[in-house]
Amino acid sequence: MKKINWSKVSLIGIATLLLWLKTYIAYKTSFEIKIENWRQEFILFINPLSFLLFVFGISLFMKEKNRSRYILITSFFISLVLFANVVFYRFFNDFLTIPVLFQTSNMSDLGSSVSELLSFSDLLYFTDFFILVLIVFLKPKSATYHQFSKVDRRAFFLVAIAIAFFNLGLAETERPQLLTRTFDREMLVKNIGTYNYHIYDAFLQSKSSAQRAMADGSELVDIDNYIHANYKKPNDELFGIAKGKNIIMISMESTQSFVINEKVNGQEITPFLNEFIKDSYYFDHFYHQTAQGKTSDSEFIVENSLYPLSRGAVFFTHSGNEYEATPDILRGKGYFTATLHANNKSFWNRDIMYESLGYSRFYSLPDYEVTDENSVGWGLKDIDFFEQSIPHLKDMPKPFYAKFITLTNHFPFELGEEDQFIEPYTSNDKTVNNYFPTVRYTDEALKVFVERLKEEGLYENSIIVLYGDHYGISENHNKAMSEFLGEEVTPFVSTQLQRVPFIIHIPGQEGKTISKVSGQIDIKPTLLHLLGIETKDNFDFGSDLFSEDRMEFTVLRDGSFITKDHVYTKDICYDKKTGEPTDVSACEPYIEKARNELEYSDKIIYGDLLRFYENKDYLNQDLFHKQDTE
């Protein structure tokens, strides 16, 4: 092999070196990538190199003018990809995927959330591009144009290939079966690099698109056997206890369980909820199971008892699938099914997905009077939202199933002083500080809403179900959270922070706190059993929370899981009593079960397998009732 004359590489070498170093600096300063040893640090350092050599190496086949233009455009585009990941990571603590990029229709509604994540110093992420522009225009001798022979080009790409295989070999040694752990994006970025990760993500997207075309009903057999083997008999005393009652379900935006029965600045954060749970069933070990789809993911889980996808949002990627969702089932039982959310109907593709889920009516932005005075952050304030929703509830045919989606407690947690019932927290973290007043505002809105339900005669004949949709404070704010909690936020504590409130209020029933491990995936079978609807033939991965022989086992979308005695996350098994790592053998009996549940659920979604399921006699043929809201 002919030795490369690196002095000829000039602009290619400079562009590669600058982007390589910038990417590594971004890894260390903008992402929280856990490094356990020097080998992982070395892999992290070299993983951008092979990709950059390949991409910039293409310019070896170009003439001088085209080569310079190509290098500049490519450098800018790669920098943009890196910066997009940085901004996305600041809030979601995650890396971009192709399905997320398809959600651009949401961008117009993000408003202050995006601006809160940007700063003038972000221009530093494009410093290398500006340097390259100067070099191209000034044309120093070190960046003069050189012709490359076939041998030169062959040698260049052989080096790039060698580095790529060296990187992959080290990564596979450090993390066996790396490319099968697609739900752990941090692991992929750490080992193969953010750019190669996006190429692999494109491969996964192509694979998932092909799955539906190649799927057939035989794939349901193993899934059906697994689900029905895990079916739990409902509680005889509670089965059908709420038959025929209205259901009012409320998704509490970004509400985590750590605020319940807690104070900030000496004031209760959730005084209404603290009282309400005394007369309700309250599940204090209940976890959200969302991924990149956030609120839409929580809706999907709650309605279908299926897991969301690890990449993107099902509401976007598979809105045309067939589902056996709660609204569809209840509509077949004579319920009027509605969802109420004072936002654009296309946000999260809700107008399309709600039709697939079986909703009779979607009360969206045109159904509300929204002004600058009654709006903050993402839109209509929660108190106004509930107040304006009362007439809609009164006009609904009875019985009804109505789901409300709140907005005010949404990042970046904006609230005017006139709406603050408590003072912000006092740490050095603005996000955490402002979180508590917006939670308190939503709590007040719920109080006002329940009082209005009583005034209008809707309270006594309705089940009220409240649940937190996803976390509000990400791991990027662990320092301030450690200050508030009075303990270090370890991976164990972080997993415990994924608990969200779940409350079921049934008129005439005494309150009770149930401390069994549970999750959003259990809501559907629990609710249907309370209404006297059997779920034995459904494809539900959750189970009735009131069932006496229910297993305490909840899987999170990242592969972590919680049992009665242990928490398993980031490949470490923790003892729940001590919060300290313990022998992984204590968690091993559940590892395969967790993996199977996620894989089986993914197969149902990617293959649209429920279209092959014929036992759907509960469905009626009513079309989605698109009422004119103009």
Catalytic residues: 295
Task: State the Cα–Cα distance between residues 195 and 192, nearest whole angstrom.
Answer: 8
Instruction: Compute the chain's Rg from CA coordinates.
Output: 27
Signed CA dihedral, 574, 495, 475, 484: sign only: negative
Q: Return the structure tokens found at 77.
A: 């585009």
Task: State the Cα–Cα distance between residues 327 and 555, nearest whole angstrom.
Answer: 24
* Residue 214 CB-density burial (10 A; 0-12 exposed, 13-18 middle, 19+ buried): exposed
Which of 311, 294, 295 is closest to 95 using CA atoms?
311
Task: State the Cα–Cα distance between residues 82 and 104, nearest whole angstrom.
Answer: 18
Write down the residue that tokens 């494009």 correspond to: 126
Task: State the Cα–Cα distance between residues 326 and 303, nearest whole angstrom.
Answer: 5
Distances (CA, A) of 289 to 55, 319, 414, 556: 38, 19, 25, 5
Q: What amino acid is encoded at 175 in this protein?
A: R
Task: Tell me the β-bridge partners of 563.
Answer: 553
How far is CA 109 from its chain centroid? 18
Task: State the Cα–Cα distance between residues 474 and 251, nearest whole angstrom.
Answer: 19
For 389-425, the DSSP string reads: HHHHHHHS-SSEEEEEE--SS-TT----GGG-SSPPP
* Residue 29 CB-density burial (10 A; 0-12 exposed, 13-18 middle, 19+ buried): exposed
441, 420 Cβ separation under 8 angstroms = yes
* Residue 162 CB-density burial (10 A; 0-12 exposed, 13-18 middle, 19+ buried): exposed
474, 117 Cβ separation under 8 angstroms = no
Which of 218, 213, 189, 214 is closest to 201 using CA atoms?
189
Packing angle between helix 64-92 and helix 10-30, nearest 10 degrees?
Answer: 0
**Three-state DSSP class for 132?**
helix
Signed CA dihedral, 220, 178, 80, 110: sign only: positive
Task: State the Cα–Cα distance between residues 290 and 298, nearest whole angstrom.
Answer: 6
Which of 616, 488, 555 is closest to 305 using CA atoms?
555
For 460-496, the DSSP string reads: TTEEEEEEE-S-SS-GGGHHHHHHHHTS---HHHHHH
Distances (CA, A) of 171 to 175, 185, 607: 6, 14, 31
